[in-house]
A and B are shown apart, each in its own frame.
Chain A
Amino acid sequence: MVSLHSYLILSAILFAIGTIGVLTRRNAIVIFMCVELMLNAVNLTFVAFSKYLGNLDGQVFVFFVMTVAAAEAAVGLALMIAFYRNRESIDVEDLNMMKW
């Protein structure tokens, strides 16, 4: 029987790796993928708690998180395509059109 602690440690590690990716990479699509990785780490926490506390509400939350992630993917990638059309690049350092 794997303890709840191991699952929580694993998802903490995955979340930290996702954070490092978001903060260090400069390609917008890779940053986006790192955000998905962080969402997955949180989902794993939800499901682990749901199992060990004997309550299904956490898994319903995971369902909603996945819906939000799908909507985010659609809108985020549309934004990237629009940005690429203007700048011929998806490097976040070129994202300075709104800079004053």
Chain B
Amino acid sequence: METLFFGLVAAIAIISSILVITNKNPINSALSLIMTFFCVATLYVMLEAPFMAAIQVIVYAGAIMVLIVFVIMLLNVRNESSRRTRHALFIGTTTGLVLLVQTWYLLGRSSLTGAKGKIDSAMIAKEGHTELIGKSLFTDFLLPFEITSILLLAAIVGAVILSKKKL
């Protein structure tokens, strides 16, 4: 049952991500990308990471995609003109496929060591996923967390400066 569901979600994710790169209209691409994000959020739930699924939907499918759709509508982007160069299409597709075959080959040959950490399903069910993430974030990863706030501040200042009328 779980395998069947995984197959269904994976198929929808792959089809909608192919639609992202084949659609001529950027708005259709954006909507397909939101579909892909929802599929990935579903996979996070299957991987017992409900907090990650929640922030995937809120941050990615909510905040970031709203920003992108907003900019597409603001700029009134037309459909891509058809002066697309053939060789760029060919080289890009070949590079992507070579990358895929390479990854597939490496995944087929590799194996895990089998070392297990101390977090398992029972512990997540008992303590709660968000609590575990929070505990880890505010103890082991406190410095990166603080640096993230500086990054966000820099991004805010940068975005305001860049979108000023007189650059």
Q: A13-B100, A14-B14 are in contact. Are A53 and B77 (CB under 8 A)?
A: no
What range describes how many residues of A lie at the interface?
35 or more
**Once the chains are docked, how many angstroms separate the CA of A26 from the CA of B74?**
19
Contacts of B133 in A (CB 8 A): 56, 59-60, 63
Q: Is the interface of B mostly helix, strand, loop or mixed?
A: helix
Proximity string of chain A (73-99) to chain B, C-beta cutoff 8 Å, 1 when within and 0 when not: 111011111101000001100000000
Contacts of B120 in A (CB 8 A): 54
Q: Kindly name the residue among B21, B72, B89 whose own CB sees the greatest number of chain A CB atoms within 10 A.
A: B21
Contacts of A2 in B (CB 8 A): 2-3, 6, 46
Q: Whole-angstrom distance from the CB of B99 to the nearest CB of chain A?
A: 5
Q: Are B158 and A75 in contact (CB-based, < 8 A)?
A: yes
Q: Is the interface of A mostly helix, strand, loop or mixed?
A: helix
Contacts of B74 in A (CB 8 A): 81
Proximity string of chain A (9-22) to chain B, C-beta cutoff 8 Å, 1 when within and 0 when not: 11011111111111
Q: Whole-angstrom distance from the CB of B50 to the nearest CB of chain A?
A: 11
Q: Are B152 and A67 in contact (CB-based, < 8 A)?
A: yes
Q: Whole-angstrom distance from the CB of A19 to the nearest CB of chain B?
A: 4
A-B contact pairs, 11 of them (CB 8 A): A9-B104, A17-B21, A17-B96, A25-B21, A29-B72, A56-B117, A60-B141, A70-B63, A75-B155, A81-B75, A91-B80
